[in-house]
Structure 1
């Protein structure tokens, strides 16, 4: 079955592929692949505001060891980040992003500045171990690929680095879990905005939330379909989210006079 995310209105907008890639890359589930290394553990990773891709890996782990042993002082590698849905779904992986390039250790003279830039985006505990049991690596980015909705998009690394993650990324998981667990009536209202011929009677589940609106998944016996339900206008952050959702629900109620 087609998995493309379709808009529920002719004027629906969506994030650019570069913005989606930056948002997906902010998720914590990540692994590094390189020659002889198949999915090694990453303690933490981020793309900083200045466009630096940084990783924290175990100092005695296979990735750091391979970088140290490299004759050229760097290691061709692939960082794979996986975005899992925050609610239970039959197919839980929403998207993946693959960042390819060359790994090198961050020089001691640059380490403090890099750690501060890392913490600005992702203040994780693993940063405290850098210099003892963990090592900070930099990925010189060469290729960026986004896999989502059954398609694969190759991005220019410059476009990826220039993009910003979605402003609702930090609240998305909490909002979707709350909608799924506590507000079935509101979920039904959102689903009512989707033409019936697109859903084929599938059960609606909250799949995603970004500044442009909700994404719903309709799980059906033979597969699923993902559909976008847009806000009246994009929001700039969490402070505008409540009003945007309320307007969307009110519009759905007016369109369903029998409710």
Structure 2
């Protein structure tokens, strides 16, 4: 895997990953008592992880949530993290926040008391204190634009990066797409006829902005160009085309 060729192996922790999902999400599902609504562009996130909701005037959520028994979670918020590049199984993570809603001017303030993050690697319970202190990945809100640009405008670069992947991981591959990006690395989705696999290429140092990210990706591409191993995906395409 790509991790074998780089010294920096860090990845986002669960709390930061959860905050990144929250920061990038544009929609959420809110469930309170018997009320359930899909909200689009109706939430904001404070620095400490509280969620501010702007509900429609006819929403039944406010009354249902605020009338819940004190001391019990009055609402559950669900956020889905979908890959911006079209791949099979686009949902990369789901985030559930359980907690209480309270009135805050013309909005409802939601303070999570239980946080559950489900990723491809498994489900974890995130400590609320760590969640409140964590900051989103600095590339979280730009990730969709960056990955889409990489996939649409630089497919040759994506294929070159497969030189950093162990040949065994590319066996049977029919397509490779960029799946995820954070300050620590780039994840590639390897699609086969009947299965998929993900490979993470870590950067030599974390990137805190687009300028640093550009340099980190160029380093990976330079290492890929210098790699002596062949590109199984390209060879497979050639065989199929011939």
TM-score, scaled to structure 2: 0.85
How many residue pairs get aligned? The number is 227
- Residue 248 of structure 1 is matched in structure 2 by 220
Kindly state the Cα deviation for residue 71 of structure 1 after the two structures are TM-superposed: 6.5
Cα 1:257–1:91, aligned 2, differ >3 Å: closer, same or farther?
A: closer
- Residue 194 of structure 1 is matched in structure 2 by 165
Superposition RMSD in Å: 2.3
Show structure 1 runs of 5+ residues with no match: 1-5, 109-130
- Residue 113 of structure 1 is matched in structure 2 by none
Kindly state the Cα deviation for residue 214 of structure 1 after the two structures are TM-superposed: 0.5
1:105 to 61, 83, 103: 103
- Residue 237 of structure 2 is matched in structure 1 by none
1:31 to 29, 32, 37: 29
What pairs up with 1:156-167 in 2 under 5 angstroms?
A: 156-167=127-138
Determine the C-alpha separation between the residues in 2 that align with 1:149 and 1:21: 13
What pairs up with 1:148-227 in 2 under 5 angstroms?
A: 148-202=119-173, 203-227=175-199
1:145 to 116, 119, 133: 116
Q: Secondary structure at the match of 2:205?
A: coil
Show structure 2 runs of 5+ residues with no match: 232-242
2:4 to 6, 9, 23: 9
- Residue 75 of structure 2 is matched in structure 1 by 77
- Residue 20 of structure 1 is matched in structure 2 by 17
- Residue 65 of structure 1 is matched in structure 2 by 63
Deviations 1:86-135 (A, max 9, x none): 111121111111111011111x3xxxxxxxxxxxxxxxxxxxxxx4xxxx
- Residue 44 of structure 1 is matched in structure 2 by 42
Determine the C-alpha separation between the residues in 1 that align with 2:4 and 2:177: 19
Cα 1:232–1:150, aligned 2, differ >3 Å: closer, same or farther?
A: closer
